[in-house]
């Protein structure tokens, strides 16, 4: 793959310059359809976008292979976090690639998209035998995987998946990722004039403060985190606030622990409200189920073998970030999240390197051309 370094860098730079913030991936999807179409690979788009306010659906492509074995699924997401409009890849003498400094770079996840595209190009050009392949490119992954939430996994035949979306050193792969929920709690009190008759009011903000002060945040145990990130309440300084809203999240490697922590939080608010004569309403959104892929799973063994083939040291890790891969086990697909040439993601300091993009492409080729391991 050494002779492809310039093209890999060029492909990455071309994709980076396409604006594709979450829910606005239309141009990216159209470009990928064009690029894969030139290779004889049709990307089918579903109608998921409008269901979450987006303009783009999930893309799924199939590449017929020559090697025996069930299909392999390779996945990356099309969207990037803000600030992302007007991105440009800047190549530095030391081999690093950054943005111009006023946007993210978009290596998350265009490094993964680039590697999949360049791997398929190389297979087509060289005629190298490979497995049957399924290629998925999702929209709005950065907004709690809105795209794959709506995807019809009945379209997939693959039982093993490699999701290229992990900010770790090359060779690492996440076999464990947390499930999560978002929650919204509204405390209902009673408004009153804060100067003339404060005792006639029920102070919703005070109720929320009492409940929050009784709870633990951050790591509540080694596998679970709790956070309240938004608090809103009151109208004016001279009015006893009649409502207060809090918004938070819970993450855990164990789905049961998420439910336990949620009940603890809800109970704390209900007790504080009852004590002061208020009430509470709540809403919960399940974002992800926990991902726990066994270390001895076939998808892990294949990954370790492919790493060794291209000179990478395989390393199995846990991550506290979520990805499209969290959805796969519920649909009979065993997956891992592969380190994909991106560092300092979700910041204007994000960077990648040309060496790592080439390594990632080589790794994807090794996975695509690997014969099915005996069970």
pLDDT tens, the chain, 375 aa long: 455 899 999 999 999 999 999 999 999 999 999 999 999 999 999 999 999 999 999 999 999 999 999 999 999 999 999 999 999 999 999 999 999 999 999 999 999 999 999 999 999 999 999 999 999 999 999 999 999 999 999 999 999 999 999 999 999 999 999 999 999 999 999 999 999 999 999 999 999 999 999 999 999 999 999 999 999 999 999 999 999 999 999 999 999 999 999 999 999 999 999 999 999 999 999 999 999 999 999 999 999 999 999 999 999 999 999 999 999 999 999 999 999 999 999 999 999 999 999 999 999 999 999 988 766
Largest CA distance in the chain: 84
Task: Return the SS3 of 51.
Answer: helix
Q: How far apart are CA 340 and CA 325, in angstroms?
A: 14
Given the DSSP bridges, would you call strands 72-77 and 133-138 parallel, antiparallel or unpaired? parallel
Residue 121 CB partners (closer than 8 Å, separation 6+): 39
Structure confidence at residue 76 (pLDDT): 98
Q: Could you tell me the CA-to-CA distances from 214 to 33, 241, 264 in Å, in that order?
A: 53, 21, 10
pTM, whole model, 2 decimals? 0.93
Instruction: Dump strand ranges (E) for 146-223.
Output: 160-166, 172-177, 179-188, 192-193, 218-221
Our CA angle for 132, 137, 138, nearest 5°, is 140
- Give the mean pLDDT of the chain: 96
Phi, psi values for residue 265, rounded to 5°: -65, -50
Give me the helices (H) in the chain, please: 5-16, 26-37, 107-126, 146-149, 204-213, 255-276, 298-309, 354-368
Structure confidence at residue 1 (pLDDT): 46
The pLDDT tens digits of the residues spanning 83-133 come to 999 999 999 999 999 999 999 999 999 999 999 999 999 999 999 999 999
Neighbouring-strand partners of residue 231: 246
Residue 291 CB partners (closer than 8 Å, separation 6+): 174, 175, 176, 177, 178, 179, 322, 325, 326, 328, 329, 335, 337
Instruction: Tally the C-alpha atoms within 13 A of residue 345's C-alpha that lie toward its C-beta.
Output: 20
* Among candidate residues 63, 50, 55, the one with its CA nearest the CA of residue 23: 55
Structure confidence at residue 304 (pLDDT): 98
The pLDDT tens digits of the residues spanning 208-217 come to 999 999 999 9
Could you give the domains of the chain?
2-177+290-368 (3.40.630.10), 179-288 (3.30.70.360)
Instruction: Dump strand ranges (E) for 273-355.
Output: 279-288, 291-292, 315-318, 334-339, 351-353
| Residue 87 structure tokens | 């991105």
* Among candidate residues 171, 76, 69, the one with its CA nearest the CA of residue 130: 69
CA torsion sign, 287 to 293 to 299 to 303? positive
Structure confidence at residue 3 (pLDDT): 58
């Amino acid at each position: 793959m050494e002779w492809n370094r310039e093209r890999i860098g060029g492909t990455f730079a071309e994709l980076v310059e396409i604006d594709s913030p979450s829910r606005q991936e239309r141009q990216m999807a159209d470009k990928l359809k064009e690029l894969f179409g030139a290779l004889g690979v049709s990307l089918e788009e579903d109608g998921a976008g409008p269901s979450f306010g987006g303009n783009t659906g999930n893309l799924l492509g199939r590449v017929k292979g020559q090697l025996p074995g069930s299909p392999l699924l390779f996945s990356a997401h099309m969207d990037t976090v803000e600030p992302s409009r007007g991105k440009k890849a800047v190549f530095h003498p030391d081999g690093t690639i950054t943005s111009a400094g006023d946007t993210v770079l978009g290596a998350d996840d265009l490094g993964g998209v680039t590697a999949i595209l360049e791997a398929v190009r190389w297979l087509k050009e060289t005629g190298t035998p490979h497995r049957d392949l399924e290629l998925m490119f999702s929209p709005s992954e950065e907004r709690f995987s809105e795209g794959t939430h709506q995807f019809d996994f009945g379209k997939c035949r693959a039982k093993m998946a490699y999701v290229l979306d992990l900010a770790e050193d090359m060779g690492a792969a996440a076999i464990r990722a947390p499930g999560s929920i978002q929650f919204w709690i509204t405390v209902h009190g009673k408004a009153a004039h804060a100067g003339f008759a404060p005792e006639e009011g029920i102070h919703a903000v005070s109720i929320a403060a009492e409940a929050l002060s009784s709870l633990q945040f951050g790591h509540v145990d080694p596998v679970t985190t709790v956070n309240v990130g938004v608090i809103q309440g009151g109208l004016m300084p001279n009015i006893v606030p009649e409502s207060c809203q809090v918004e938070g999240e819970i993450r855990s490697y164990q789905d049961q622990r998420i439910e336990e922590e949620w009940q603890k939080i809800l109970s704390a608010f209900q007790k504080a409200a009852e004590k002061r004569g208020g009430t509470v309403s709540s809403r919960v959104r399940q974002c992800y189920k926990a991902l726990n892929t066994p270390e001895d799973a076939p998808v892990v063994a294949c990954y370790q073998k492919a790493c060794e083939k291209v000179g990478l040291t395989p390393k199995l890790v846990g991550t506290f970030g979520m990805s499209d891969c969290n959805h796969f086990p519920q649909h009979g697909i065993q997956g891992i999240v592969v380190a994909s040439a991106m560092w300092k993601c979700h910041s204007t300091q994000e960077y990648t390197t040309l060496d790592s993009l080439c390594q990632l492409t080589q790794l994807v080729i090794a996975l695509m051309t690997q014969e099915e391991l005996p069970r």
